[in-house]
Structure formats: structure tokens, C-alpha cells
Structure 1
């Protein structure tokens, strides 16, 4: 009985790019020799691992590769035994697929900005809609907000420096220690 499978392997990046390619081709060849029909091999490249584990020996990245194949269920166990002994394979996963394989389309160069938008320089001194437009709208008659300052810096409120000076003058009569 032929079933459809997906196999994801995480390959150690410390073995080098040429050895990664050799490992991928080696597993593709093993699948074909075992009688599987390899329908698709998708190399996702070097990616950050989602978690750390003592078994990963402190590694934070791996080369991800997805194999989509159909074959006899009996070929999974021997292939899994080989992967357990292969030090270049950090993790692997076999999934049985019911129905059709899903294909993730490759990212088109013209659409790359959707996933990696270019950084826009921010002018921190330029006009901002939330700051500059309609600032005084709706403030008249509201007691929960201080009055808006005018463009020349004048305000209906008493300046902070004048309040601080008046407080300092009141405290000037004593040196902070009470006399009894």
C-alpha cells in the first residue's frame, strides 16, 4: 500500500554548505532506493530554531529541508534508524498526508517587500497629523485638560517658574528646622 508522506529534516549548519547539499541528496537517494517516489524537495535554507534543547547542543540555527514523497509505510522505520545515527541531522519529522500535498509558492522577487518591508526613515521633527492638525479642536469648555498653548508659547496658565518662586519665598522664613 502506497501512502503519501512529508519529511522535514533539520541539518546542522556547522558541517558546511557543501556537506548540507550532500546530506540532502543522500536522503533523496535513500528514499528512491527504498522504492519511494520523491515528488518534491524544498530547501528552506538556514533558519533560526524555535526552541533550544540539550540535544541541540546550543545550536540556534539549522538548515530546514522538506521532502514530499509517496511510498510503502515500511520504508519509514529503516530511514528513521539511519537519521537517529546521523550526527548532521539535528531533528526530523515524518508526517502522513491524507489528500493532496500543499505547496508553498516561492517568494517572487517583486513581492518580497510584503514580507520584508524596507525601513522608512522617520523625520521626528516633521509634521504629524496626530500632533499638529486639530490640536485645539474640542478643547474649549473642557475642564479635564489644561488650556492649549499658543504658537508664541503664551498660555492662560500660570508659568511653572512663578509657582516655584512663590513657594521658595514662603519657605525662606525658616531653615527647614523647627524651633521650640
Structure 2
């Protein structure tokens, strides 16, 4: 397994409770694929560098994982499908 650093931005029109639920659902993707979440750092609501789909703000979450290739593929697949994730990235350390 390799270590990765990732970030995703959640659509701003959610409650604090919904943000926590989304963060735990994303973490569960890695745990279900025999990977380990090393760190989750919720940056909270911030201004976007540029507008994305007419949005000016987003809820930022940065994380580190030790993941299998299958977990990385599933993370990318789920983030592309979910409408509440407006941007995501995962980079190998």
C-alpha cells in the first residue's frame, strides 16, 4: 500500500451535521477496501479560488491515507458520481 494525500470540496448548501456524514462516508470508502485513514483535517467553509458551477464557497476537507489501488479507484469513482462533491484530488506521497 502507498500513502496518498487528498482533498475534496463539499457543496456549501449542507448543514454541519451533513458535512460530518459526508466526511465519514468518504473515509468509509477506504476502510472498506483494506486501507487506513491516517488523518482527516476539516478546513471548513472557505472561499473558492474561482467559481465552480456558480458557487463561491465550499467546505474543504484534506486527508492522508494508506491505500490500495482498488480503494483509490473507488474513491475517484464515488467522488465523480456524487453531486455534493464539487472537486476532488488524490496525490501519491
Shorter-chain TM-score tier: over 0.9
Q: Deviations over 1:61-85 (max 9, x none)?
A: 0011011010212321122111111
The structure 2 residue matched to 1:67, chosen from 63, 71, 79, is 63
Name the residue aligned to 1:48.
47
Name the residue aligned to 2:16.
17
What stretches of structure 2 of length at least 5 have no aligned partner?
Answer: none
Return the structure number with greater relative CO, CA threshold 8 A, min gap 6: 2
SS at structure 1 position matched to 2:18: helix
Alignment of 1:1-180 (within 5 A): 2-52=1-51, 56-97=52-93
- Please identify which structure carries the higher strand content: 2
TM-score (normalizing by structure 2): 0.94
| Structure 1 consecutive aligned stretches of length 4 or more whose deviation exceeds 4 Å | none
SS at structure 1 position matched to 2:49: coil
Superposition RMSD in Å: 1.0
Distance 2:76 2:91 in 1: 12
TM-score (normalizing by structure 1): 0.50
How far does residue 18 in structure 1 lie from its aligned partner after superposition? 1.2
User: In the comparison of the two structures, how many residue pairs are matched?
Assistant: 93
Distance 2:31 2:74 in 1: 13
Distance 2:43 2:57 in 1: 12
Larger radius of gyration: 1
